[in-house]
């Protein structure tokens, strides 16, 4: 009974914050609502008895990724919503190459990680040791591909932020 009530409260909060992310015109306020959505999602993970996923959600997404988003927003220093559009409409070939590389990396990552993981003998789920063993053995290539994708995103952020 209580799990259902908690689920509906957190699900409503998560969807409401996600809608506010889209509707906000100020990117920093939108980022704050995104943090709210991440925290509600972490609460849903806790409700599903997955404390490791909840902790990862808070540490990585609500912490590190949002700091990166806010940092990029401050670097871009957009005074008008169309500044970004007018700043990057000139050369088409480098954009097409970067987009093609991004799509190729993303498709390779999706196809390489079909995560058909079966739960271990115990119904408690995975331990951190089992997750680390899988991550650095069976899923080493997707892990490295993800790090390359993040590197490409960081270089893209620096290119977007550089002044003429």
User: Per-residue pLDDT tens for 133-146?
Assistant: 888 888 888 888 88
Residues 137, 64: one domain? Answer: no
* Closest to 126 (Cα-Cα) out of 76, 47, 51, 35: 51
Residues 56 and 97 in one domain: no
Cα angle value 52/21/98 (rounded, 5°): 85
Retrieve residue 78's tokens.
């957009």
- For residue 2, CA distances in Å to 6, 11, 14, 92, 153 come to 6, 14, 18, 54, 41
18 and 75: one domain? Answer: yes
The model scores a pTM over 0.85: no
Q: Are residues 22 and 67 in the same domain?
A: yes
Contact 46, 58 (CB under 8 A): no
**For residue 131, pLDDT beyond 70:** yes
- Looking at the structure, do residues 51 and 106 belong to the same domain, yes or no? no
Look at residue 43 in the predicted model and tell me its pLDDT. 92
pLDDT of residue 1: 80
78 dihedral zone (left: phi>0; alpha: psi -120 to 50; beta): beta
Q: N- to C-terminal Cα distance for the chain?
A: 59
pLDDT of residue 115: 47
Which structure tokens are listed for 131?
């997750």
Interatomic CA distance for residues 95 and 101, integer angstroms: 10
The count of domains in the chain is 2
**Domain, as residue range, for 14:** 1-82
pLDDT computed for residue 110 by the predictor: 66
Q: Mark whether 34 and 73 lie in a shared domain.
A: yes
Two tokens, residue 102: 């991004």
Domain termination site, one of 30, 61, 82: 82
Task: Name which residue leads in pLDDT, 163 or 84.
Answer: 163
Nearest alpha carbon to residue 43 among 22, 17, 25: 17
Q: How confident is the model at residue 116 (pLDDT cuts 50, 70, 90)?
A: very low
Give mean pLDDT, residues 70-87: 63
What are the start-end ranges of the E strands in 20-131?
Answer: none
């Amino acid at each position: 009974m209580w799990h259902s009530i908690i689920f509906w409260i957190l699900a409503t909060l998560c969807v409401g914050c996600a809608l506010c992310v889209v509707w906000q015109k100020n990117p920093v306020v939108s980022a704050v609502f995104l943090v709210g959505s991440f925290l509600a999602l972490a609460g849903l993970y806790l409700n599903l008895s997955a404390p490791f996923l909840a902790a990862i959600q808070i540490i990585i997404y609500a912490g590190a990724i949002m700091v990166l988003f806010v940092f990029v927003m401050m670097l871009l220093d957009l005074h008008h919503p169309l500044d970004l559009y007018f700043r990057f409409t000139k050369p088409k070939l480098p954009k097409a190459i970067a987009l093609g590389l991004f799509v190729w990396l993303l498709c390779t990552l999706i196809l390489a990680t079909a995560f058909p993981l079966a739960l271990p003998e115990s119904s408690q789920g995975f331990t951190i040791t089992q997750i680390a063993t899988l991550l650095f053995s069976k899923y080493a290539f997707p892990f490295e591909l993800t790090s390359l994708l993040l590197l490409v995103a960081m270089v893209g952020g620096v290119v977007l932020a550089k002044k003429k």
